[in-house]
């Protein structure tokens, strides 16, 4: 089973492509998301082929902090995913429909283990400066985030917010122009384990670039992170996590190749074991 983050891991906005070669050598791109009538997210054509291969060879589980509506705009190449994880683990989609039992269990866990959303949202709005705050949003009644003018955002404000949130059982993550405040019990890893249980997966592979992906990478048997993003910025890794040097859309291709290689190696090992037992 493969559980992978989407934005800046598998798919990339124009601003996040990170292309450093001359325009004439740039890879061909495939649009995988349209928003407001305009193309928003891309993969390279090579990555599109790799995604198709991965979707056919494994149980591929798109795993994102996006809301269900935001996830619904994405059309990845390859077969439709049976399972998807949205809202940072708050929703487990099965054939595109949120599992109500899973959502209820998440709600109970949040109510028991961290400060309420209303308190955190009020603090965000009260302390944010209109000079750099562009929008404030609540996602799926589970967590809050701000859209900011990054060049004007004071680093100290983010650090102070992280300390304040930590004492209330929440995590702060800065990704591009967005600042997320997410309850600590709301994790991608918990949802990944549930999908692994339902599918009977004996090997879990994962990929991601942000602080909100760290628990997912730690919970997998093997994992990869690109050379960009929050985790790369702080040099985060773990013994079973491969820290790639590739950045931008090129990292997406490398991650897909690594996932396919690991899945193929596991399949070959399993087939060899079966042959040995029969022999």
**Relative orientation angle of helices 249-278 and 45-57, to the nearest 10 degrees:** 30
State residue 274's pLDDT score. 34
Whether 25 and 134 map to the same domain: the answer is: no
At 17, is the secondary structure helix, strand, or coil? coil
By the 10 Å C-beta count (0-12 exposed, 13-18 middle, 19+ buried), 71 is classed as: buried
Distance CA 262, CA 9 (A): 17
Q: What count of other Cβ atoms lies within 10 Å of the Cβ of residue 50?
A: 23
Please tell me the pTM assigned to this model. Answer: 0.91
Query: Is the same domain home to 11 and 38?
Result: yes
Instruction: Tell me if residue 152 falls in helix, strand or coil.
Output: helix
Whether residues 101 and 227 fall in one domain: yes
Buried b (16+ CB within 10 A) or exposed e, 157-176: eeeebbebbeeeebbbbbbe
Domain's final residue, options 147, 168, 183: 183
**For residues 62 and 70, is the Cβ–Cβ distance under 8 A?**
no
Please check the confidence at residue 239 and state whether its pLDDT lies above 70: yes
Contact 152/161 with Cβ under 8 angstroms?
no
pLDDT of the residue at 268: 63
The predicted structure's pLDDT at residue 175: 87
pLDDT in tens, 165-177: 999 999 999 988 9
Rg (alpha carbons) of the chain, rounded to whole number: 19
At residue 279, does pLDDT exceed 50?
A: no
Residue 58 CB neighbours (<10 A): 20
For residue 276, is pLDDT > 50?
no
Whether residue 273 is predicted with pLDDT greater than 90 in this model: the reply is no
Do 28 and 165 fall within a single domain? Answer: no
Cα distance between residue 85 and residue 3, in whole Å: 9
State percent of the chain over pLDDT 70: 95
92 and 210 share a domain? yes
Q: What is the mean pLDDT of residues 173-191?
A: 95
| H helix or E strand, kind and range, residue 41 | strand 38-44
With a pLDDT cut of 90, the percent of the chain lying above it is 93
Of 166, 183, 200, which residue constitutes the final position of a domain? 183
Report the alpha-carbon distance of residue 18 to residue 239 in Å, rounded: 27
Q: How many CB atoms within 10 Å of residue 203? A: 18
Structural domain containing residue 152: 115-183
Tally of domains in the chain: 2
**Look-up of token digits 């929440």:** 170
- The tens digit of pLDDT for each residue in 146-155 reads 999 999 999 9
What would the pLDDT profile of 100-128 be if each residue is shown by its tens digit? 999 999 999 999 999 999 999 999 999 99
**Given CA atoms 76, 259, 190, 9 in this order, what sign does their dihedral have?**
negative
Q: What is the CATH number of the domain that holds 36?
A: 3.40.50.1000
Domain stops at, among 151, 183, 215? 183
Confidence of residue 269 (pLDDT cuts 50, 70, 90): low
Residue with tokens 């049976």: 82
CATH number of the domain enclosing 177: 3.90.1070
Are the C-beta atoms of 192 and 3 separated by less than 8 Å?
yes
Regarding whether 207 and 268 lie in a shared domain, the answer is: yes
Instruction: Tell whether 218 and 245 lie within a shared domain.
Output: yes
What's the pLDDT score for residue 271? 46
């Amino acid at each position: 089973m493969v559980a992978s983050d989407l934005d800046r891991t598998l798919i990339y906005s124009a601003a996040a492509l990170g292309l450093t070669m001359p325009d004439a050598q740039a890879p061909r791109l495939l649009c995988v998301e349209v928003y407001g009538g305009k193309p928003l997210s891309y993969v390279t054509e090579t990555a599109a082929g790799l995604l198709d291969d991965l979707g056919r060879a494994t149980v591929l589980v798109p795993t994102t902090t996006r809301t269900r509506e935001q996830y619904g705009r994405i059309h990845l190449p390859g077969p439709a995913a049976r399972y998807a994880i949205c809202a940072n683990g708050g929703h487990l989609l099965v054939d595109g429909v949120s599992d109500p039992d899973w959502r209820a269990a998440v709600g109970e866990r949040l109510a028991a283990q961290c400060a309420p959303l209303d308190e955190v949202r009020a603090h965000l709005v009260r302390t944010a400066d209109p000079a750099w705050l562009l929008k404030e949003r609540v996602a799926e009644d589970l967590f809050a985030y701000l859209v900011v003018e990054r060049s004007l955002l004071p680093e100290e404000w983010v650090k102070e917010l992280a300390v304040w949130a930590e004492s209330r059982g929440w995590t702060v993550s800065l990704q591009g122009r967005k600042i997320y405040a997410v309850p600590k019990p709301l994790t991608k890893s918990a949802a990944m384990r549930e999908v692994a249980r339902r599918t009977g997966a004996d090997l879990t592979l994962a990929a991601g670039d942000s602080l909100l992906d760290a628990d997912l990478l730690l919970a997998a048997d093997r994992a990869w992170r690109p050379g960009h993003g929050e985790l790369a910025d702080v040099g985060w890794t773990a013994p079973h996590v491969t820290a790639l040097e590739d950045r931008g859309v090129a990292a997406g291709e490398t991650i897909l190749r690594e996932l396919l290689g690991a899945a193929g190696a596991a399949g070959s090992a399993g087939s060899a074991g079966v042959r040995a037992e029969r022999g």
